[in-house]
């Protein structure tokens, strides 16, 4: 996860890496690039889906991805501090109301539902197996 200052809300936030799709870039390539740019880490990503952001007001949409990385190293880059958050601690942060990123929560829950795992209780190896199995399913048209 990344910790960074968000002046618009006056908070130091903890959130999942995110970003924008560059010209002619595919969503998966964008997710992998953004993750690397913010963390200096590589991750194996799986697409959770394409979502409307505010369908009552805008045609904007976002893609959600879920993935794993190995060889974690804490770093600080360009005002972003990369933090390793254990699953139990993440659950505590979410339940305390300190996790402010609604889109991150939505993608995390959608990943659990689509890939059929429980992020807080399942073994990492079982979650990885769920991601591998999902590659064989037809997914939302992106």
If you write DSSP's letter for every residue of 55-87 in order, what string do you get? TTT---EEEEEEEEESS----EETTEEE----H
Residue 141 pLDDT class (50, 70, 90 cuts): very low
Q: What is the rounded CA–CA span in Å between residue 83 and residue 141?
A: 33
Q: What is the rounded CA–CA span in Å between residue 93 and residue 130?
A: 25
Per-residue model confidence as pLDDT tens digits over 7-19: 998 988 899 999 9
Q: What is the rounded CA–CA span in Å between residue 101 and residue 82?
A: 16
Ordered domains of the chain (ranges, CATH):
2-134 (3.90.79.10)
Q: What is the rounded CA–CA span in Å between residue 104 and residue 16?
A: 6
Residue 68 pLDDT class (50, 70, 90 cuts): confident
Q: Please provide the average confidence, as pLDDT, over all residues in the chain.
A: 86
Taking residues 121-141, report their average pLDDT. Answer: 76
pTM comes to: 0.83
User: Does the pLDDT of residue 106 top 50, yes or no?
Assistant: yes
pLDDT at 140: 44
């Amino acid at each position: 996860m990344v910790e960074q200052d968000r002046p618009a809300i006056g908070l130091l936030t903890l959130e999942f890496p995110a970003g924008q799709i560059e010209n002619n870039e595919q969503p998966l390539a964008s997710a992998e690039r953004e993750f690397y740019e913010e963390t200096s880490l590589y991750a194996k990503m799986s697409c959770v889906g394409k979502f409307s952001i505010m369908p009552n007001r805008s045609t904007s949409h976002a893609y959600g991805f879920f993935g794993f990385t190995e060889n974690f190293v804490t770093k600080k880059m360009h005002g972003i501090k990369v933090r390793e958050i254990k699953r139990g601690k993440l659950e505590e942060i979410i339940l305390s109301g300190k996790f402010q990123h609604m889109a991150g929560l939505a993608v995390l829950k959608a990943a659990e539902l689509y890939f059929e795992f429980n992020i807080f209780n399942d073994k990492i190896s079982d979650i990885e197996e769920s991601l591998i199995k999902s590659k064989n399913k037809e997914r939302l048209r992106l």
